[in-house]
Amino acid sequence: MCRRVSMNTPVCGLQGVDSEFWLSGLPAGSFFLLLLCSFLGSLLTASLGVGGGAFLLTVMAGILPPLALIPLHGIVQLGSNALRATLTRRYLNVRALTFFALGALLASVVAVFLVGLLNPVYIPLAVGLFILWLSWGRVPEVALGQQPAGLVLGGVLTTLATMLVGATGPLVSAWLGRRSAGRWEYTAIFSACMTVQHVLKVVVFGLAGFSYRDYLPLLLVMILCGYLGTRTGLHLLGRIPEAGFRLVFKWVLTLLAFRLLWLWWVSV
């Protein structure tokens, strides 16, 4: 049996129905790479505050079909962020979350119509360019998320963006104003806002006709790995020196983004 799992690469010859079911049509190497990156992505976001979603997205983009990329990434990130939000719930600013969620809900209504217009051919291109901008562009610390109107607007804009390119954690982080809150307070509100976004994203793509069923085994194991990464990352919160690590991480994302752009180029 052959199944196309990347932009230009069919996968053939997986042995056995049970094996193929659990691997979701992926080669074993790709399957376990996704599990490892789910763990590392959750660890990064829990320990450093942001970045894990973008890292996981660039890896998934080189393995999964373009149409499946955004919704599957959304489910995995939903599991990771929901757990982190639960573990830090005592620090959550419920009022801020309510206004952000209102904006996200408004954006999701619009996104139901926009998603159907997306040309999947250009999804890898958009994701690759977006990751490069996140790595080397300037994401301003706007901190508009301290006022109700700013929170609603942030919910609208960042939720629309996540429907199109997926990993908008750095944008949400900038909007909320990371420097204006303590580590635990920031982690709580950021995780809760991202959870809301990913729930809405999963619903929107489901309404647009995307079927998650074939990927459920992969998703369940990736969410479990994300859980382990989150627990590990929260233990490391505040202990990892950020300056040097962020520079290395920036180059890792850059190389992954260029690889994704190259795969897109040779596939069109």
Residue 159 pLDDT: 92
Residue 259 pLDDT: 85
Residue 7 pLDDT: 40
Burial (0-12, 13-18, 19+ Cβ within 10 Å), 163: buried
Indicate if the pLDDT at residue 13 is higher than 50.
Answer: no
Residue 251 pLDDT: 82
% pLDDT > 70, the chain: 82
Residue 173 pLDDT: 78
CB 207 within 8 A of CB 262: no
pLDDT, tens digit, 9 for 90 and up, residues 204-246: 998 888 888 888 889 999 999 988 988 888 787 766 666 666 7
Higher pLDDT, 130 or 108: 108
Indicate if the pLDDT at residue 91 is higher than 70.
Answer: yes
For the record, the structure tokens of 91 come out as 């620090």
Please give the C-alpha separations between residue 267 and each of 6, 33, 59, 124, 261, in angstroms, as whole numbers: 10, 22, 17, 10, 10
Torsion of CA 194, 200, 203, 208, to 10 degrees: -110
Residue 166 pLDDT: 79
CA separation for the pair 60, 75 (Å, rounded): 13
Residue 10 pLDDT: 38
Residues 149-162 have a mean pLDDT of: 89
Residue 16 pLDDT: 38
Residue 147 pLDDT: 78
CB 152 within 8 A of CB 100: yes
Give the range among 4-8, 131-135, 152-156, 209-213 with minimum mean pLDDT: 4-8
Residue 115 pLDDT: 78
Q: Please report the DSSP string for 97-144 in residue order.
A: HHHHHHHHHHHHHHHHHHHTT--GGGHHHHHHHHHHHHHHS------G
CB 55 within 8 A of CB 37: yes
- pTM tops 0.75: yes
Residue 99 pLDDT: 94
Residues 185-195 have a mean pLDDT of: 89
Indicate if the pLDDT at residue 11 is higher than 70.
Answer: no
Indicate if the pLDDT at residue 44 is higher than 50.
Answer: yes
Torsion of CA 253, 55, 94, 157, to 10 degrees: 60
% pLDDT > 90, the chain: 24
Residues 138-160 have a mean pLDDT of: 76
Indicate if the pLDDT at residue 118 is higher than 90.
Answer: no
Q: CB within 8 A of 211, min separation 6: which ones?
A: none
